[in-house]
Structure 1
């Protein structure tokens, strides 16, 4: 690969490598998932939904103050390209914010305010969009595709079979220490399935396209670049990454009204944080007012209240709308698959590719090759979100 201006690029590559060494341990999801979910769920149910869970979290294995100091010691003035220098300035501030998030996990309001800085919170328009979705009827629940059938061990077979369409390898594990039903750990290229969960055919179809088709695809593409920021993440990449992942569900004809409503409930739950609701009040909002069964209400509430108030979950819906609109405008989705990148930095990605500092995507989300969606209600909803 030819890299323009070797002297200037060496400064950039040195700074990028230094940042990479510092932030490899900043995998927020590794720290924010409680260790005692099942025990606290049973205690919460036994209290008739009145006593908030008391969650325990993994120990942090890095020196937070030292990490902050070394991040800001990077002499980004050595980066001659003004556009790239501004990108790295944004990146350093973003990583600093994530360190603060990790530092304050379990510290209530402090963690919540750090999350506001990193992820924001739903606007009034976002809440209106969520309520708009909740007006639609779900698909009939008696359809066999929604019936829980598969343990995490059985589900692994489906993921391994689906993954044969991609030219990469990754690890797959199960755990009872995650709040999601599945998640990709980017730093260790591992898919983790929730060992306490029983999966339906629809969930297998959704998760293979979501977790492998996008999250693992972007993990693997990111490793091919000279610059490690594609692996460690551009600023605010969560919205784009989750939007791409849910859009893969849509393109593969697996996005249902039922699933969209789940994303809408997450927005409602995050909005409850801004209103000052505690865990039990958010749970009762979902369980009593919105008539969610107690298991679903608990896990949506858990996702949002873990750490002290984790606001990221509202971004699935906003990200989906942005990626849907981007696709409808005829823009190149493969540009957003180059790594853990952000739609708003598309020009920066193109600039880095043009200078030989990044590569076009090698692995392309299988679902993106043809639009297989036939769900007209889902199409109507996505077109009409504000």
Structure 2
């Protein structure tokens, strides 16, 4: 039997069928739309908070019944098994969607928190290969940003463009890279985040001004990772689910997207601080801080009322606002970045640049890139059609990673300024 013109063995056809069942089962599992706040409520609360009128918002969430989806996902888990890496991929993916369904069925209650931590981790989790935690890393970047802030004010990019201007600019750039009309760029007045990306559409928040840094970050993060991996995933002959971000690949996807910003020179210390503050805020909320306290924390860290509100909202989406609960998704940005960075260095050390290219063949977790190697070699999983610009220049990438590998052997605690000046 063939799929998309590719002849499949009976074993691969079985996995392709299970994969289609998985996609059908998860259609109603919509994580971010389920926990979104109405724009009218947001605008009213932001206006009130800007005037110092603090009160806990009242947010009502329609609670979905996902029992049929959960039952089907459990069946797929059992049928996929662990005898083959492709079966293991399907089993892990179905399990993560099933946990996400359980999470959404608890929306608006404290029971939302535990499954979100299973999916996205908690701030105190250790960083692979380190004795430090994600929380330690967040504190480090916030402290470093605060120390450097006054020195970097002169480098701040004061130029900005309106959403419509950026939309036209991005559309032209993406047409040149992917082909005319492959990805549409739209302005969305209802969007909470500054931008959001799918396979063929990137949305920008209306009424927002964007800096040149924002433009670079959107291209590196949204277009050349999120949209690119979705498009490559759509070309897969067996695992069509590689075009969709399952909960279990969120950490790798977001970590890879922030890593792309780093490799492209599109990330600044303020961006690292924003990512890190969200992790500290999740930890605060889990330890009892309520929405108002978290809002005031972001405000005390220099964010304006609009950004402080939306930052606090990200932490409390889907959970009670009185403290002791949180939506853990923003935990993955920094931990994902650090883990992806380590993976790139490991692959270079192992002389496995092919694994780094495979990471862009769809929405994959790092574990998948390793476990699915036999299927990459057989052609059951096809290599990516598109790679980000910075991945197309492998010598430059290898140079950056090789330098990083070596300088990490230098222990900064042993470095004295006098020894540096005498050595030159």
- Map of 2:190 onto structure 1: 177
**Larger deviation, residues 6-15 vs 294-303:** 294-303
Please report the RMSD computed on the Cα atoms of aligned residues, expressed in angstroms: 2.9
Q: Residue 284 of structure 2 aligns with which residue? A: 272
Aligned pairs for 1:64-83 (under 5 A) are: 64-74=66-76, 76-77=78-79, 81-83=83-85
SS in 1 for 2:101: helix
Shift of the 294–222 alpha-carbon distance from structure 1 to 2, 3 Å rule, reads same
Aligned length: 372
**TM-score normalised to the size of structure 2?**
0.79
Say yes or no: does 1:366 pair with 2:389. yes
Q: Distance in 2 between matches of 1:325 and 1:357?
A: 27
Asked if structure 2 preserves the Cα contact closer than 8 Å seen for 1:182 and 1:192, the reply is yes
Q: Which has the higher contact order (CA 8 A, sep 6+)?
A: 1
- The residue number in structure 1 matching 2:261 is 249
Once residues 331 and 77 of structure 2 are traced to their aligned partners in structure 1, the CA distance between those partners, rounded to angstroms, is 35
Q: Note if contact 2:217-2:266 (Cα within 8 Å) is conserved in structure 1.
A: yes
CA shift at 1:212, angstroms? 0.3
Aligned to 1:118: 119
Task: Pick one of 335, 341, 356 that aligns with 1:318.
Answer: 335
| Pairing of 1:183-332 with structure 2 (within 5 A) | 183-186=196-199, 189-226=200-237, 227-233=239-245, 236-288=248-300, 290-308=301-319, 309-329=326-346, 330=348, 331-332=352-353
Q: How many angstroms does 1:361 deviate by?
A: 1.0
Deviates more, 1:174-183 or 1:76-85: 76-85
Alpha-carbon separation, structure 2, partners of 1:299 and 1:16: 36
Aligned with residue 55 of structure 2, among 51, 56, 70: 51
Q: Contact 1:76/1:88 (CA < 8 Å) preserved in 2?
A: no
Q: Quickly say closer, same or farther: Cα 1:223–1:352, change in 2 above 3 A.
A: same
From 130, 136, 144, the equivalent of 1:128 is 136
- State TM-score, norm by structure 1: 0.86
Tell me which structure has the larger Cα radius of gyration.
Answer: 2
Partner residue, 2:128: none
Secondary structure of 1:199's partner?
A: strand
* Structure 2 CA distance for partners of 1:350 and 1:252, relative to 1, 3 Å: same
Alignment gaps of 5+ in structure 2: 126-132, 320-325, 413-424
The 3 A distance-change label for structure 1 pair 44 and 78 is closer
SS in 2 for 1:123: coil
1:18 counterpart (18, 21, 26) = 21
The match for 1:344 is: 367
Q: 1:204 to 1:3 in 2, by over 3 A?
A: same
